[in-house]
Structure 1
Amino acid sequence: MLAFDAETARQLEIGYMGADVVRRRRASFDALDPRPGETLVDIGCGNGLLTAELARAVGPAGQVIGLDPSADMRAVAVARCRDVPAAVLRHGLADAIPLEDGAADGAVAMQVFEYLPDLAPALAEAFRALRPGGRLVVSDIHFDSLIWATDAPGRMARMLRAWDAHLALRDAPARLPGEMARAGFVPRDVTPVTICDPVLRPDGLAQIMIRLIVPFAVNEGLVEEAEARAWAAEQEALARAGRFFFSLTQFVTRATKPG
């Protein structure tokens, strides 16, 4: 698994302000449809960008509780939300939400469930924490949607196999509707958000992944450092030659608690 320590938080902070991630975050925001005065939960809030945006939307009469188990990520979120009164940051897990039964009007989890080997406990916990009629939005990447240009497909395959070790489920979006129904939710819809970059942009999703994959693969002993560096260098070379191509799809799954 990827350790969300201070260095990882710093790397993510660079890219999470970029257009690719803004699009993904906005899709989750729109699906949750925050309303003034509501109580919302941002499960796995990370650096607090979505928490702050939701808190501004619910206004001073509402509250958004951002939950994350990483102290380093929460520290970034606390600093970001310091001047957003409706935002509250707490330690919390997807399967251990520190709220009373039926306390929340809505909950959102963006790129969290793909790290859970078993989706059922987290969905049961969200069901418990939501009021009748409450809304749940889960946004995750289906990693089988990844297309990444390379002249060395064997090396690319080894790098991506190494990256697979940082998560629990490659196909969380495909599992979610059925798992949500089994947890008691009424699944509503699934919306794809595809990032397609023919340019290697400094703030793009591909650049974020390169910055994270190289140290992860090397530090975990999954790939030799020389090979990882050569893989990253190839992407820069393809970009200079006008041959870069990257595409990946996030799926926004929406459900409601009966009521």
Structure 2
Amino acid sequence: MLNFNAKTAKLLETAYQGADFSRRRRASFDALGPKPGDIIADIGCGNGMLTLELARTVGDHGRVIGIDPSEDMRSAAVARCADWDNVAFHDGTATQIPLDSASVDKAVSLQVFEYLDDLPGAVAEAHRLLKPGGRLVIGDMHWDTITWFSDHADRMEKMIDAWDGHLVERCIPAVLPPLLRAGGFAVDAVLPVPFSATVLNPDGLANMMIHLMEPYVVNKGLVSAEDARAWAEEQQALSDAGRFFFSITHFVISARKL
């Protein structure tokens, strides 16, 4: 798994303000349907960008509680939401949330479940903290949908295979709905949010992945430093030459507590 330290938090801060990640947050926001007065749990809130957007909508009579195990991420989120009295942050994980049972109207988790080694436990914990009829929205990538062009297909395949090591489950959109149903939820929708790019934008998803993947595969001893650097440099060269192509599909799963 990735270590979400201060350096990673800074990288994500830049990318998360870009168009790709704004669209992904908006997809989860729309599926959640926040209303004034709602009490919402943001599970794995990261640097608090979605937390803040939810806080604006629920207003003074609502509340948003961000949950994250990373102190660096929580610190960034606290700073972002410092002017909002209707926001609180807690140290916790998707399987251990420090909130009372049936205490929230809605819960959202954006690109968190793919890192969990206990999906049934996370589903049970979300079910516990939601009120009856409460809505749960989970957004994650389906990593089988990735398409990434390279003139060195074997090297690209090696990089993607090595990157899989940072995940626990690469196909959350496929495996989670039946777990939700078994855990006491009705699944209302599984909506695709496709991403594609023909330019390597500095604030884009592909660029963020390059900056995360290169050190990860090298530090894990999965790819040599020379090969990883050549891979990253090729992607920039392809973009400069008008030959870059990247695509992946994110999915938003909406469910209700029965």
TM-score, scaled to structure 1: 0.98
**SS where residue 82 of structure 1 aligns?**
coil
Instruction: Give the Cα–Cα distance (whole angstroms) in 1 for the partners of residues 222 and 10 of structure 2.
Output: 23
Contact 1:66–1:90 (CA<8 Å) still a contact in 2? yes
Deviations, residues 46-90 of structure 1 (Å, cap 9, x unaligned): 000000000111001110000000001101101001012211111
Instruction: Give the Cα–Cα distance (whole angstroms) in 2 for the partners of residues 197 and 191 of structure 1.
Output: 20
2:212 equivalent in structure 1: 212
Instruction: Give the Cα–Cα distance (whole angstroms) in 1 for the partners of residues 84 and 194 of structure 2.
Output: 30
1:78 equivalent in structure 2: 78
**SS where residue 46 of structure 1 aligns?**
coil
Instruction: Give the Cα–Cα distance (whole angstroms) in 2 for the partners of residues 193 and 134 of structure 1.
Output: 23
Deviations, residues 168-224 of structure 1 (Å, cap 9, x unaligned): 011011011101000000110011001111111111100000010011111111111
Deviations, residues 214-247 of structure 1 (Å, cap 9, x unaligned): 1111111111111100000000110011000000
Which residue identity does 1:96 align to in structure 2?
Answer: Q
2:233 equivalent in structure 1: 233
**SS where residue 106 of structure 2 aligns?**
strand
1:169 equivalent in structure 2: 169
Q: CA deviation at 1:118?
A: 2.7
- List gaps (5 residues or longer) in structure 2: none
**SS where residue 122 of structure 1 aligns?**
helix
1:134 aligns with 2:134: yes
2:149 equivalent in structure 1: 149
Contact 1:200–1:207 (CA<8 Å) still a contact in 2? yes
Which residue identity does 1:126 align to in structure 2?
Answer: A
**SS where residue 57 of structure 2 aligns?**
helix
**SS where residue 20 of structure 2 aligns?**
helix
1:53 aligns with 2:53: yes
1:191 equivalent in structure 2: 191
**SS where residue 194 of structure 2 aligns?**
strand
User: Sequence identity, in percent?
Assistant: 56
Deviations, residues 109-131 of structure 1 (Å, cap 9, x unaligned): 00000011231000000000000
Contact 1:36–1:59 (CA<8 Å) still a contact in 2? yes
Instruction: Give the Cα–Cα distance (whole angstroms) in 1 for the partners of residues 47 and 122 of structure 2.
Output: 21
Instruction: Give the Cα–Cα distance (whole angstroms) in 1 for the partners of residues 222 and 68 of structure 2.
Output: 27
Contact 2:67–2:90 (CA<8 Å) still a contact in 1? yes
Task: Give the aligned length.
Answer: 258
2:67 equivalent in structure 1: 67
Instruction: Give the Cα–Cα distance (whole angstroms) in 2 for the partners of residues 133 and 197 of structure 1.
Output: 38
After TM superposition, the runs of 4+ consecutive aligned structure 1 residues lying more than 4 A away are: none
Contact 2:148–2:247 (CA<8 Å) still a contact in 1? yes
Contact 2:95–2:118 (CA<8 Å) still a contact in 1? no
Which residue identity does 1:78 align to in structure 2?
Answer: V
Which residue identity does 2:51 align to in structure 1?
Answer: T
**SS where residue 187 of structure 1 aligns?**
strand
Which residue identity does 1:72 align to in structure 2?
Answer: D
Contact 1:146–1:249 (CA<8 Å) still a contact in 2? yes
Which residue identity does 1:104 align to in structure 2?
Answer: V
Contact 2:105–2:130 (CA<8 Å) still a contact in 1? yes
Give RMSD over aligned pairs: 0.7
Q: CA deviation at 1:248?
A: 0.7
Contact 1:56–1:86 (CA<8 Å) still a contact in 2? no
1:98 equivalent in structure 2: 98
**SS where residue 178 of structure 2 aligns?**
helix
Contact 2:146–2:246 (CA<8 Å) still a contact in 1? yes
**SS where residue 144 of structure 2 aligns?**
helix
